[in-house]
Structure 1
Amino acid sequence: MSLTLAWNNDQDKMAVEDSLIELLDKLLQAAAEMEGIAEGEVDLTFVDDVAIHELNKEYRGIDRPTDVLSFAMNESLDEEMDIVYELEEGEELDELTDVLGDIIISVERAKAQSEDYGHSLERELGFLFVHGFLHLLGYDHQDTASEQVMMGKQEAVLAQVGLVR
């Protein structure tokens, strides 16, 4: 198996072009190579602010929209969010363990942030996607040191595919 990107578009604020998915897949491959990840699946969903607000409130207890949420499949049962997956007929448990997790991006937040930061929407979406992917792998930014590590990795991957500020 190789590393794959599965995606859904659950919003109508922005058309999702094939070129964007190709760019995000390049970012995924670059980030995975940097981290030594050779196989698995990342599920990406594009949503609007209303949908991500609901998810942020439900799973994080924060009553406002955010730009990106990540839900790692390897979270332990005592963590904040427990997910139960039911096997469908003929489906093997191993098939589910190949999924690294879900990344959910608000295209409305991404668009506003790209304008605020003065860079392209593609760069912002790429940044949010790599940020989400690193969260799936266990990276966090709770303190200055861990934030610097995570930011450095994000910028290195973005630069590798030409998404610089």
Structure 2
Amino acid sequence: MISFNYENNFKLTNELKISNWLSTVINAENCKEDEINYVFCDDTYLHKLNIEFLNHDTLTDIISFDYSVGKTLQGDIFISTERVEENAIDFSVPFVEELNRVLVHGILHFCGYKDKTEADALLMRDKENYYLKTLV
């Protein structure tokens, strides 16, 4: 089950559509969906988590805590809507496109994809682009 939680004034207007899309991604990656919680927040909230849990004193758009067991996906994905908005401006894309990229990015991490090396980041970006095209 995918759930959406809000720690700021942001609210998805199409929760069911996004949830169904992400479930389709999970199935396409031959994984099983368990409890996945998205938490939308601001930079301050996410920065605090980044320092406390990852010892990173930087702003980020997403932090995922993966509690998956094998191919059964579960975990918490925190997204700073402020950072997504800034990134959308920096990349000259609509906010909703950048938000959807970050949403699927978190799921892909749970599916086992990494992005620390250049090769891994390229594969992750290819997967994001592929799945973004399936969101109709």
TM over 0.5: yes
Following superposition, the deviation at residue 61 of structure 1 comes to: 1.0
- Residue 33 of structure 1 and its aligned partner are, at CA, apart by 2.3
In the alignment, which residue of structure 1 is the partner of 2:45?
51
> What is the alpha-carbon root mean square deviation over aligned residues?
1.8
Instruction: Count matched residues.
Output: 134
TM-score using structure 1 length: 0.74
Answer whether contact 2:23 2:33 (CA < 8 A) is retained.
Answer: no
Greater RCO (Cα-Cα under 8 Å, separation 6 or more): 1
Q: How does 1:55-74 map to 2 (within 5 A)?
A: 55-74=49-68
Q: Give the Cα–Cα distance (whole angstroms) in 2 for the partners of residues 69 and 55 of structure 1.
A: 8
CA distance in 2, matches of 1:23, 1:122: 13
Percent identity, aligned pairs only?
28
Moved over 3 A (4+): none
Distance in structure 2 (CA, Å) of the matches to 1:116 and 1:23: 27
- Cα distance in 2 for residues equivalent to 1:160 and 1:134: 15
Matches of 1:37 and 1:74 in 2, distance apart? 10
How far does residue 5 in structure 1 lie from its aligned partner after superposition? 1.1
Displacement after TM superposition at 1:34 (Å): 1.9
Other-structure match for 2:91? 117
Amino acid at match of 1:131: H
Secondary structure of the corresponding residue to residue 55 of structure 1: helix
- Residue 53 of structure 1 and its aligned partner are, at CA, apart by 0.3
Matching residue of 2:133: 159
Greater Cα radius of gyration, structure 1 or 2: 1
Per the TM alignment, residue 35 of structure 1 is displaced from its structure 2 partner at its CA by: 0.5
| TM-score, normalised relative to structure 2 | 0.88
Deviations 1:3-59 (A, max 9, x none): x211110013x3x1432x234213312311220124312110000000000001111
Q: Specify every segment of 5 or more residues in structure 2 that has no aligned partner in the other structure, as ranges.
A: none
Task: Judge conservation of contact 2:32–2:73 (CA < 8 Å) in 1.
Answer: no
State how far apart, in whole Å, the 1-side matches of 2:133 and 2:95 are: 15
